[in-house]
Structure 1
Amino acid sequence: MDTTATANGANGGWFKRIIRMVFGAPKYLKDPHLFHKMSLIPILAWVGLGADGLSSSAYGPEEAYRALGSHTYLAILLGLFTAITVFIISYAYSRIIEHFPHGGGGYIVATHMLGEKAGVVSGSALLVDYVLTITVSIASCVDALFSYVPNQFHVWKVTVACLLAVLLIVLNIRGVKESISVMAPIFMVFVVSHVVMLLDGIFTHTDKLAPMAQDFHQGITHDISSIGIVGIMLLFLRAYSLGGGTYTGIEAVSNGLQIMREPRVQTGKRTMVYMATSLAFTAGVLFLCYSLVGIKPVEGKTLNAVLADGLFSHWPFGSAIAFITIFSEGALLLVAAQTGFVDGPRVMSNMAVDSWFPHRFAALSVRLTMRNGIVLMGAASIALLLYTKGSVSALVVMYSINVFLTFSLSQLGMSRLYIQRRKEDPQWIRHLSVHLVGLALCATILVITTIEKFTEGGWLTLLITSIVIGCCYVIKGHYLSVRKGMKQLDEALLDFPTSGPVNTHAPAKTEPTAIQLVSGYSGFGVHTLLSIVTTFPKTYKNIIFVSVAVIDSGSFKGAEEMEALEASARADLEKYVDLAQRLGFAADYRLEVATDVVESVIEVCKELGEEFPRSTVFTGQLTFRLEKFYHRMLHNETAFSIQRRLQWDGLTTVILPIRISA
């Protein structure tokens, strides 16, 4: 007995058990209720996607309030304008949900309405934005939590932030709904504690409303005489723009429609109402409470922590209640980081389907999560945490620029949509006016934030986004070149003429058999078949075609899409069987529907190896004249992975090269 093999098998078994325990069990694709189980009802969608918007109240209003300096009398107007802006942008995105019900948000709107160049800019900005969503949320969470920790322990803030990022990566690889369900109680504690805090701030300080109005009158009178109306407007506009972080996350619902429960449009719009109302109330009333209480910054504490301490100080167990309030705020920021892990990989997968990103980012794991995208988003956020040392101020500046770049392109795209539909939609002027107002607000915030904060970190956001856009064009150019070569194969081989009798016999199990791995019916697969025929003439009597209909983010939208995918794959296999029979072979096919090509192919080929003992597995692999360092990243190594696994199991596997000039 081979004890080494036994030990390796045992270790492999233990390793798989640990992986399953940490990341969860694979999903059963044949489950008729799979989509229903994985989709989100409005409340859970509000938790998973709306938390990003609501959590921005932890840092957006604070940044705006600090930007007022000594002119805090303007905070009331700032709160009012903030609430109005939330509703305008939210309403605009509700219209996007109606017209683009399959999700994708800003990337899809820009691509369809403004062209692919605007689309790749919007998509790249969104990706950087979602990395920053994760980073800002985690950094703000740690800031809030460390508000009640002695200063000597603050050196551990970045370490804790990185550990939280790793935790979120694990949770999201397990599944979106699972991770949101775990965090739902945190969300509800935040909502309840902050409603209590804000209402307490208003009703226990009603006696200060009149003095506050008097301070407003005195402040504006003084500033008119010193800096003038224009100066006041510029000061207000600057604070309003620097508080742009308050609106981040509003687009998350339109991006994540794919995970909504049917009817998706109604679920998405209801989620948007929940998010807009909660964010407008929280942010607007925070400004009011800052003014009523007369909040002053305290070293090492957020303004919300100072507010909670001041309001709850006279309550029984006031310190504990204040701690719970701010702890829930920090914990909600962790929930908000979910949005980056939910929507970021989805934007990435949409771009991968359009060949702006490596195609592997459209793949789903056995748990039906976008594992590659989740890991990349998490790794990028950890890198940013280390680079900025977890500074929320630096991250919010970087964050707001890309958010409003995407917002502006989305509003511009929707404005063009309603102009084009002016003859069909009798209410086009009303809808257009909303998007034009949204465009003006978003573009204004974008320009002012970029100019104001360019030297403080804004340049880095623009640089990173530009690098991502440049990489997208390089990737797209490569795929277009490969597609051109594949098209030449299709033109040459898809109408391949045959002569001689058609072999309609069933494959004999004792005869030499070629097992050919194929995807869709294409010149690539036909070339591989002809290579088998010419390289091994008169060797094989049977040919069995094996295909895996891959469930990726593009097809994982509902039961109908999965059925259509399986039907299309079956039709392609029947074409291969027909061609092989016309070439004189006894032929058949095997089809699997799965997310993991390698594992599925291994299982099918092992079964076929037992059924046809004299069999050899064949697959094709793209080969380039000059192998570049990025080819392995852009093109999967599936053929080599399958070859290694099958040869270890005793099945001879041959990889046939397909030459492409790219």
Structure 2
Amino acid sequence: MGSRDSWNWEDIRSGARRTIIGARKNIEDPSLFHKIALFPLLAWIGLGADGVSSSSYGPPEAFIALGPYTYLAVFLAIGTALTVFIISYAYTRIIEHFPGGGGGYIVATHTISERAGVVSGSALLIDYMLTITVSIAACGEAVFSFLPLSWQPWKLPFACLLILILIVINLRGVRESVLILAPIFLVFIAAHAILLGYGLLAHAPQIVPVAATIQSGFSRDLAAIGLVGILAVFFRAYSLGGGTYTGIEAVANGMQIMREPRVKTGKRTMLYMALSLTALSAGLFACYLLWDIRPVAGQTLNAVLAGSVFAGWPLGGLLALITIFSEAALLCVAAQTGFIDGPRVMANMAIDSWLPRSFALLSERLTMTNGILLMGGAALLLMLFTHGSVMILITMYAINVFLTFSISEYGMSRFFYKNRVTEKDWKQHIPIHLIGLVLCSTILTITIFEKLGEGGWLTIFLTSALVGLCFLIHRHYQKVTRGLRKLDSLLDVMPVAGTKNIDPVNPHKMTAVQLVTGFHGFGVNTFYSVIKNFPGIYENFIFVSIAVVDSGTFKGAAELKALSESTKKGLEKYVDLAREMGFSADYRMDIGTDVVDTAVPVCREIAREFQNSTFFTGQLVFRHENPFHKYLHNETAFAIQRRLQYSGITTVIMPIRAEK
């Protein structure tokens, strides 16, 4: 009765998971990559939304920072437009030269050094956690701008609930999440086109008087505070509005999910984002100035603008509400970037052993579940810690964004100079990257100086702590790798028993089934341990391996085929070794995203075929165990053992020492 209840509970849980997250995807479907990849419009929605939505908080922050010097908004509009195109152009070059994605982490690693890559990657990860947090917090600000002040205490719970909903949506898959949110993006674009278009046309006659006001204000302040004072006000506002550019790098980071040809798709997506962000930001600055918009307690600056522009319209209040609610909803879409790009940066760093390797794994829905859960959990903690303060979050956000921008611009400048012989257009590209470096480093410096005590210190602390953790993890993996290399020496001195056994395996004889991950010293050592500890018992050896598809191999049908062939070759080497040792041998294999879920059914099938079989697998053991080892090294052997033994299949784990 107990086992039946357990089975029913497992069945119910599995059904609920399938309903919420979706059914398993077929990794061997040849059309899978085409189905889940994003074409330019969807990529603009999924990745460009972060950049476009920054118009909701970047320009307002900059305009408010001007204080009484609002006439400088004209120059902010020009400076913002130029900065957007300079950074976008620079990232277009990154797309061309690093089409595999990874953005700032890959650029810094390959053009400067691995250490620079870790700093850039860590900054990116904190950045994407903040992408989620600041977007949702700004969404809450926009929504509650149209609600009574008495509702303000519900703003933080509302934001936390939105993060939880986005976690679930993203566990279903990237394309699915983008398709769900696409209508929101389109409503936002339409509503803001009407807002800014009418806002500019309706006050077109005011352009000449406003121009005169700009000239008189500039002359007055030139005499009062001097050119240096005016420039100081302008650059402070320009830097504090750095949130405007925070999503531009998203396209270069997310190239893995672009539809082929990836470079063309990525460049087109970048163009869409640059044009839309420029039009929105410049249009907002112009409308703030023409409509003489001033901050109002409890409302965002854009809410004040929408209320003013649509005040005389029939159903104007409803139009203003739709406009701001579309802005709030788009900020939810923008949070997608953190869930899309954050786990991919994490996976790249995990593949290079800077983070636990489990972050490179894919789920049955082909999402990076571990990364999504970590990004969402961290965003929740940041939301609670800052109480959803958009001002603090934008400051934290901008620091890491411009740290990554500055490293990337320096890296690309260095890349073109070092490769000036092969890169014919290097003289054309280097000035753009150098200008971008100056702009980004200036914004970074001023932001840290102005906002160190208002959240900047927390960003620096979190990023520094993550960098330090990455180096500790990498050092551990390096020590383990050196220890495992000693085991590889067995490959050079493998003994041969005599005549090679070419007899087929006999299902009625005693059979040892060994799970392996590739032909190397670890697997060979496990094989010899089985022979040594169970002498004369087994006559057959069956080697089992799962070709694990992770983020490093999930790039196309060709990569999957190469992975399958490599796994097969490794198994054939084990079979040859066993036959040379006098055993009958064969192999079994499968391909999947999870070793345990894929291996257990294969092993059960083997157990049914070979009734007298024992299953063996190796597991690393350390002289001094600590709680972090289970996070840094998968415990696949124990998970498989539990599942197989529950099915009545004898499974033995052979300990393999990792000398350090």
In structure 2, what is the equivalent of residue 351 of structure 1? 349
Partner amino acid, structure 2, of 1:505:
D
The one-letter code sitting in structure 2 at the alignment partner of 1:34 is: L
Tell me the residue number matched to 1:240.
Answer: 238
Write the deviation string for residues 264-321 of structure 1: whole angstroms up to 9, x where unpaired: 0000000000000000000011000000000010111000000000001111111111
Structure 1 equivalent of residue 128 of structure 2: 130
CA distance in 2, matches of 1:495, 1:339: 51
Q: Distance in 2 between matches of 1:454 and 1:97?
A: 33
Partner residue in 2 for 1:337: 335
Q: Give the 4+ runs in structure 1 shifted more than 4 A.
A: none
- Residue 408 of structure 1 aligns with which residue? 406
Please tell me the residue identity of whatever aligns with 2:524.
Answer: V
- 8 Å contact kept, 1:348–1:373: yes
Structure-2 residue corresponding to 1:298: 296
Cα shift at 1:564: 0.4
Partner of residue 610, structure 1:
608
How far apart are 1:424 and its partner, in Å?
Answer: 2.3
The CA deviation at 1:29 is: 1.1
Determine if contact 1:494/1:523 at 8 Å carries over to the other structure: no
**For the residues of structure 2 that align with 1:238 and 1:419, how far apart are their CA atoms?**
32
Match in the other structure for 2:166: 168
- How many Å apart are 1:497 and its aligned residue? 2.6
Select 1:13's aligned residue among 11, 28, 31.
Answer: 11
Letter in 2 for 1:417: F
Rounded to whole Å, the distance in 1 between the matches of 2:272 and 2:98 is 20
Show the counterpart of 2:272: 274
User: Amino acid of the residue matched to residue 415 of structure 1?
Assistant: S
Say if 2:388 is the partner of 1:390. yes
- Extract unaligned runs of 5+ from structure 2: none
1:577 to 575, 578, 585: 575
CA shift, 1:252, in A, is 0.3
1:32, 1:116 → 2: CA distance? 35
**Counterpart amino acid of 2:235?**
L
TM-score scaled to structure 2, two decimals?
0.99
Q: Return the offset for 1:30.
A: 1.6
Separation in structure 1 between the aligned mates of residue 497 and residue 627 of structure 2, nearest angstrom: 44
Equivalent residue in structure 1 for 2:631, among 608, 630, 633:
633
* Kept in 2: contact 1:86–1:280 (CA 8 A): yes
Amino acid at match of 2:359: F
Residues 490 and 525, structure 2, Cα contact 8 Å, conserved in 1:
no
Q: Name the aligned partner's letter for residue 302 of structure 1.
A: T
The 8 Å contact of residues 548 and 593 in structure 1, kept in 2 or not, is answered as yes
**Aligned counterpart in structure 2 of residue 180 of structure 1, from 166, 178, 181:** 178
Separation in structure 2 between the aligned mates of residue 626 and residue 418 of structure 1, nearest angstrom: 47
Among residues 265, 290, 314, which one is paired with 2:263 in the alignment?
265
Counterpart-to-counterpart distance in 2, 1:282 and 1:80: 12
What letter corresponds to residue 447 of structure 1 in structure 2?
T
Shift of 1:426: 2.8
1:151 maps to amino acid: L
Distance 1:275 1:385, change over 3 A: same
* Paired residue secondary structure (1:509): coil
**Is the contact between residue 138 and residue 328 of structure 2 (CA under 8 Å) also seen in structure 1?**
yes
Contact 1:494 1:522 in 2 (8 A): no
Aligned pairs for 1:500-515 (under 5 A) are 500-515=498-513
The 2-side partners of 1:660 and 1:258 are apart by 34
Percent identity, aligned pairs only? 57
| Higher mean C-alpha deviation, range 338-347 or range 425-434 | 425-434
Is residue 325 of structure 1 aligned with residue 323 of structure 2? yes
Once residues 226 and 314 of structure 1 are traced to their aligned partners in structure 2, the CA distance between those partners, rounded to angstroms, is: 39
Question: Structure 1 length normalisation: TM-score?
Answer: 0.99
Contact 1:412 1:435 in 2 (8 A): yes
SS for the counterpart of 2:614 is: strand
How far apart in 1 are the matches of 2:468 and 2:43? 34
Distance in 1 (alpha carbons) for counterparts of 2:148 and 2:19: 36
**Aligned residues, how many?**
660
What is the DSSP-based 3-state SS (H/G/I as helix, E as strand, rest coil) of the residue aligned with 2:525?
Answer: helix
Map 1:195-206 onto structure 2 (within 5 A): 195-206=193-204
Question: What RMSD, in angstroms, separates the aligned Cα atoms of the two structures?
Answer: 0.7
Q: Distance in 1 between matches of 2:344 and 2:154?
A: 32
CA contact (8 A) 2:44 2:269 kept: yes
Q: Equivalents in 1 of 2:87, 2:128: separation in Å?
A: 18
Deviation at residue 215 of structure 1 after TM alignment: 1.2
Name the structure 1 match of 2:656.
658
Q: Distance in 1 between matches of 2:82 and 2:121?
A: 27
Structure 1, unmatched stretches of 5+, are none
Q: Deviations over 1:564-616 (max 9, x none)?
A: 01111100000000001111110000111100100111101100000000001
1:73 matches 2:71? yes
The within-5 A match list for 1:543-622 is 543-622=541-620
Does structure 1 conserve the Cα–Cα contact (< 8 Å) formed by 2:490 and 2:524? no
Match of 1:491 in 2: 489
CA contact (8 A) 2:395 2:451 kept: yes
Deviation of the 1:11 alpha carbon = 1.8
* Equivalent residue number for residue 107 of structure 2: 109
